[in-house]
């Protein structure tokens, strides 16, 4: 049975259909305390093209996850503008953001007192006026879309493996059929087999649902297998956003240490292995 919500790929095109998925301009993020003033982003610009998988990499404290949360509208930048499909995130509101953006948090962020099905269905219950039957049917479609069996629906998060938690959280991120998916360290904490399976799932969903993906990851295999472009955060801004081979060739201390240091041999192997086109 079809999901109760229309797939994002089939949505009627709006005025911004031909434009970028995300535009970030002149972004500044400042955290202040009685002891100090910390500038994380300063004059940061970034464009996310429709249909791409853009990965954010950077050192500790460069604000990669903060940037994801700002795109989602969970945090407000100190200055600057973020637009999703041509509309300011600050004007979208909770329902508008949920219909355009799904987010997979690093540790899943499932509600421990809710069953798997209740976790997946939660955004629908909160933001849509649908019958319980339609909500359950839509949640079951997403459960199976992420490769889980129907009998998992009534399980509790405490009974799930790490890989299953990631898949349930992904199903919840997709329940509103958003065109934009944000991933924060999607394979963190997974064993190699579970990580490989999850990356394969993400590739399939990106293709089949015509998703645009913005991802934060430190894992080189995940980075090179999924990314069509990489944006590097350093010096409080995006210093380059380009195809992986062009990023590696870019001269900057962080890029030299991240890609060409102890992990450089693996990076070169992956560069030869993946064509960077999904």
On whether residue 244 sits in a domain, the answer given is yes
Q: Please classify residue 150 by burial: count the beta carbons closer than 10 Å to its beta carbon, then call 0-12 exposed, 13-18 middle and 19+ buried.
A: exposed
On whether residue 241 sits in a domain, the answer given is yes
Mean pLDDT, 10 residues at a time, over the chain (278 residues)? Answer: 36 54 97 91 97 95 95 94 93 81 90 94 85 94 96 95 95 96 95 94 96 95 94 96 92 85 65 57
Identify the CATH number of the domain in which residue 106 sits: 3.40.50.300
On whether residue 155 sits in a domain, the answer given is yes
Give the E-state strand segments of the chain in sequence order.
Answer: 22-32, 37-48, 53-58, 79-84, 87-88, 101-104, 180-184, 212-216, 229-234, 237-242
Q: Structurally, how many domains does the chain consist of?
A: 1
On whether residue 102 sits in a domain, the answer given is yes
On whether residue 222 sits in a domain, the answer given is yes
Cα–Cα dist 111/135, whole Å:
18
CB < 8 Å & 24+ apart, contacts of 146-155: 146/170, 146/171, 146/174, 146/201, 146/205, 147/197, 147/201, 148/116, 152/116, 153/115, 153/116, 153/117, 154/115, 154/116, 154/117, 155/115, 155/116
On whether residue 158 sits in a domain, the answer given is yes
CA distances (Å), 215 to each of 56, 104, 181, in order? 6, 9, 8
On whether residue 220 sits in a domain, the answer given is yes
Which domain range does residue 250 map to? 50-63+90-273
On whether residue 77 sits in a domain, the answer given is no
* pTM for this model (two decimals): 0.88
Q: Please classify residue 144 by burial: count the beta carbons closer than 10 Å to its beta carbon, then call 0-12 exposed, 13-18 middle and 19+ buried.
A: middle
Structure confidence at residue 266 (pLDDT) = 66
Structure confidence at residue 271 (pLDDT) = 66
Structure confidence at residue 96 (pLDDT) = 80
């Amino acid at each position: 049975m079809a999901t109760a919500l229309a797939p994002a790929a089939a949505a009627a095109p709006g005025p911004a259909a031909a434009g970028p998925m995300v535009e970030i301009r002149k972004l500044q993020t400042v955290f202040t305390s009685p002891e100090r003033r910390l500038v994380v982003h300063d004059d940061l610009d970034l464009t996310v093209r429709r249909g791409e998988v853009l990965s954010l990499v950077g050192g500790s404290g460069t604000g990669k996850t903060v940037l994801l949360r700002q795109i989602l509208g969970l945090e407000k930048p100190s200055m600057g503008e973020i637009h999703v499909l041509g509309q300011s995130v600050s004007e979208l509101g909770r329902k508008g953001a949920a219909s355009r953006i799904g987010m997979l948090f690093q540790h899943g962020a499932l509600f421990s007192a809710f069953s798997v099905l209740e976790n997946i269905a939660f955004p629908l219950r909160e933001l849509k006026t649908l019958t319980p039957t339609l909500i359950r049917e839509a949640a079951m479609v997403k459960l199976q879309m992420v490769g889980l069996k129907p009998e998992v629906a009534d399980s509790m998060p405490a009974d799930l493996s790490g890989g299953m938690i990631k898949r349930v959280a992904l199903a919840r991120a997709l329940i509103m059929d958003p065109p934009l998916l944000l991933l924060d360290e999607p394979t963190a904490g997974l064993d190699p087999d579970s990580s490989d399976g999850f990356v394969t799932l993400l590739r399939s969903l990106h293709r089949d649902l015509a998703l645009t993906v913005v991802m934060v990851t430190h894992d080189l295999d995940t980075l090179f297998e999924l990314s069509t472009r990489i944006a590097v955060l350093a010096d409080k801004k995006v210093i380059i956003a380009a195809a992986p081979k062009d990023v590696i060739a870019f001269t900057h201390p962080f890029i030299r240490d991240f890609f060409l240091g102890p992990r450089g041999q693996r990076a070169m192997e992956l560069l030869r292995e993946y064509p960077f086109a999904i």
